[in-house]
């Protein structure tokens, strides 16, 4: 019988509520789509690559009513041991994008479930702005042995 390795699941979304006139709204959404497309197809560990992201279209039929919701997810082998590195890569991505909030869920077999939330300081985060604000919530499921 093959032994299962420790698995971690990472998933979440980046939300952008475009402001301004129609051209400004479209430009910021197109910018975000371009940033995601420029991610590497194959990345160094811990992976943060293009294939883990899904970006909706620009209209209601494409998945966007008002808010652009870019969702992502990936299964890793014990990514929690490299979590600071993964978070650094994710924040480097956020620094390049327009967004109002971002949420990352980390589900681990050994360390429980963690939720990381980024909120912009103003109405919207714009590319290049510093600093990013994050808070972490932790939940442990199951009984204590």
Quick: pLDDT tens for 96-141. 999 999 999 999 988 889 999 999 878 889 998 888 888 777 665 5
Lowest-pLDDT range, 16-20, 61-65, 75-79, 139-143?
139-143
Mean pLDDT of 55-66: 72
Lowest-pLDDT range, 1-5, 47-51, 75-79?
1-5
pTM: 0.87
Judged by phi (left if over 0) then psi (alpha if -120 to 50, else beta), residue 112 lies in left
Beta-sheet strand order (sheet of 101-108):
53-54, 68-77, 7-16, 101-108, 112-119, 133-139
Q: How far apart are alpha carbons 29 and 36 in whole angstroms?
A: 11
Considering the chain, what percentage of its residues have pLDDT values greater than 70?
A: 88
Q: Is the pLDDT of residue 75 over 90?
A: yes
């Amino acid at each position: 019988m093959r032994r299962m390795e420790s698995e971690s699941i990472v998933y979440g979304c980046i939300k952008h509520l475009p402001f301004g006139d129609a051209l400004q709204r479209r430009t910021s959404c197109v910018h975000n789509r371009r940033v995601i497309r420029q991610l590497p197809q194959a990345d160094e560990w811990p992976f943060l690559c293009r294939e883990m992201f899904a970006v909706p279209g620009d209209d209601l039929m494409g998945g966007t009513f008002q808010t652009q919701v870019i969702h992502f997810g990936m299964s890793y082998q014990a990514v929690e041991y490299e979590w600071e590195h993964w978070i650094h890569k994710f924040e480097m991505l956020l620094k390049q994008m327009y967004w109002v909030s971002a949420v990352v869920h980390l589900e681990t077999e050994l360390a429980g479930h963690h939720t990381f939330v980024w909120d912009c300081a103003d109405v919207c985060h714009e590319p290049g702005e510093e600093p990013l604000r994050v808070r972490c919530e932790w939940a442990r499921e199951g009984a204590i042995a």
